Chain A
Amino acid sequence: MKTTIVTILILLIRTVMYAQVSPEIELGAKGVMSGNFNIDNTNTSSAVSDFSDSQLLLGFKQKLYSNWRGQMVFGLQFPDADSNLGQVFFNHIFLKIENQKNIIKIGRSTTQTILNEFPTLRDDDAMQFNYSLNPFSGGMNTQDNQYGNVIEYTHIFKQRYHLTVHGENFVNLSEPNNFKLNSFGTSFLYIVPESQIWNRNILQRIGFSYNNYVIDNFSDLLKNILGTVTLNLKPDPVHFIDLKLQTIYNVGFTGINDINNYSNYVRTPSFSSFGTVRYLYRKYERPLIQASLGFGYKSFSLANDSKQILGIFNVFYRLGENFDIGFQYRYTQNNGQVENLFGRQEQRFQIAFVYSVNQLFNSQFDDRNSILNLEHNYIK
Chain B
Amino acid sequence: MNRRNFMKYGAMSAAGIVLFPVDLFADKTKTENKKHFPQPLSFTKKDGWKEFEISVNFLEHEFAPAMTIHTLAFNKSVPGPEIRVKEGDKVRVIFKNNTELNHTIHWHGIYVPWRMDGVPYVTQMPVMPGKEFVYEFIAEPYGTHFYHCHWGTLLHMQSGMYGSIIIEKDEDPIKKIFPYDREYTLIYSAHDVNFLRNELNSMLERMKERSFLMKNGRFSPERFNLFDTKEELEKAIENGYQPPYLVNRRSSAELPVPNWFTVNGKSYPSTPNLYIKEGENIRVRLINAGTENHHLHLHGHDFWMVCDDGVPLPQPWQRNTVSLSPGKTYDIIIEGKNRGIWTFHDHDTRRVTNNGLYPGGNLLALIYEDLPKEERMVGNMKKMKQKNPNTKINILPKIALDE
Contacts and interface: CB of A to CB of B under 8 A. Distances in A.
- Do A and B interact? yes
Interface of A: 195, 198-199, 237-238, 283-286, 320-321, 363-366, 370-372, 375-377, 379
B231 interface: no
Given A195-B205, A379-B70, A284 B249 contact: yes
Contacts of A376: 58, 60, 70
Nearest to B197: A366
B342 to A, nearest CB: 31
B317 interface: no
A366 B201 contact: yes
B16 to A, nearest CB: 24
B209 A237 contact: yes
Nearest to A370: B201
Contacts of A372: 58, 70, 197, 200-201, 204
Given A237-B213, A284-B249, A364-B194, A371 B60 contact: no
Interface of A is mostly: loop
A357 to B, nearest CB: 13
Given A237-B212, A285-B209, A379 B69 contact: yes
Nearest to A379: B68
B198 A371 contact: no
B385 interface: no
A238 to B, nearest CB: 7
Contacts of B205: 195, 285, 371
Nearest to A283: B223
A283 B198 CA distance: 22
10 contacts: A199-B212, A283-B223, A284-B223, A321-B249, A371-B204, A371-B205, A371-B208, A372-B201, A377-B70, A379-B69
Nearest to B200: A372
Interface string B220-257: 00110000000000000000011000001100000000
Interface of B: 58, 60, 68-70, 194, 197-198, 200-201, 204-206, 208-209, 212-213, 218, 222-223, 241-242, 248-249
Q: Which 4 A-B pairs have the closest CB atoms?
A: A237-B209, A376-B58, A371-B204, A363-B194
B344 to A, nearest CB: 29
A198 B208 CA distance: 10
B68 A238 contact: no
Contact of B213 (A238, A286, A320, A365): A238
B201 A371 contact: yes
Contacts of B212: 199, 237
A320 B241 CA distance: 12
Contacts of B223: 238, 283-285
Contacts of A370: 197, 201
Contacts of A377: 60, 70
B209 A320 contact: no
Contacts of B213: 237-238
B130 to A, nearest CB: 15
A341 B366 CA distance: 85
A370 B200 CA distance: 10
A237 B207 CA distance: 11
A285 B60 contact: no
